[in-house]
Amino acid sequence: MKPLLELNDVRAGYGEAEVLRGVSLQVAEGEIVALIGANGAGKTTTLMMISGLVSVRGGGVTFGGDRLDRLAPEEVVKRGITQVPEGRHVFPRLTVRENLQLGAFSRSDGTQVAKDLEEVLGLFPVLRQRIGQYAGTLSGGEQQMLALGRGLMARPRCLLLDEPSLGLSPKLVMAIFEIIRRIHERGTAILLVEQNAYQALRLAHRGYVLERGVIVRHGSSQELLHDPTVKQAYLGEA
């Protein structure tokens, strides 16, 4: 399967610290790929590097066959990649509608933006009910839905999700994973960073295990779910 997003031996970091030390991975069109690992492994740095928020020191990133790692973050969004960051980061003093509209800031197709807003509200009925409400008054689960909806308003070909279930109740975790599945059914490729490795691998087609800035395992989700080392380290099985 031809890759849509491809990282080739990427090195990146902050200041003098090198966080990613030769990361290579691929996400194909319409595929869900899970990136799992312990805290501090470099998962968020990987997403931020793809988004243009962390500079690449070596290797390269391509998207749709075109070089991506030399572009500014806003250009990355225009090419079709949107990141939903860890911690939601909605604009608390703006309404739900205004937050969603900000997701389409780089678009000029106003008629289609309006149609996409209706589609997002159909995907998240609770947001339709809260459309005029300030985002800061929403519950944690509702804010996560708003962050996902805002990301979709950019019409991404590839969605980067950073810990979408973080801090949510078990019931809401399952609801968020179901929404991610429905987003995928729309044809959107997804690179999913998630501490809940079991649920992430159940949802994904393939997965990568990142340790200290290096990919140490990769394969189909089923292969990783049954890998003894992965089960012990990330799935809570002795």
Q: Note the pLDDT tens digit of each residue in 31-45.
A: 999 999 999 999 999
Dump pLDDT digits (tens) for 215-225. Answer: 999 999 999 99
Q: Going by DSSP bridges, is the β-strand pair 158-162/189-193 parallel, antiparallel, or unpaired?
A: parallel
Given a cut of 90, is residue 111 above it in pLDDT? no
List pLDDT tens digits, range 163-212.
999 888 888 899 999 999 999 999 999 999 998 999 999 999 999 999 99
Q: Where in the chain is the domain with CATH 3.40.50.300?
A: 1-80+156-238
Please check whether residue 180 is in contact with residue 156, taking contact to mean a CB–CB distance below 8 angstroms. Answer: no
Q: Among all chains, which residue has been given the structure tokens 């599945």?
A: 181
Q: Which CATH class is domain 1-80+156-238?
A: alpha beta
Maximum alpha-carbon separation in the chain: 54
Does pLDDT of 238 surpass 50?
Answer: no
pLDDT category of residue 237 using cuts at 50, 70 and 90: low
- Side chain identity, residue 19: V
Burial 77-114 (b: 16+ CB within 10 A, else e): bebbbbbbbbebebeeeebbbebbbebbeeeeeeeebe
User: Percentage of the chain with pLDDT > 70?
Assistant: 99
Q: Which of 22, 29, 42 is nearest to 193 (CA)?
A: 42
Task: State both tokens at 46.
Answer: 């990987």
Please give the C-alpha separations between residue 238 and each of 228, 230, 234, in angstroms, as whole numbers: 9, 10, 10
| Rg, Å, the chain Cα set | 17
Report the mean per-residue pLDDT for the chain.
Answer: 94
Q: What is the pLDDT of residues 127-140, one digit of tens each?
A: 999 999 999 999 99
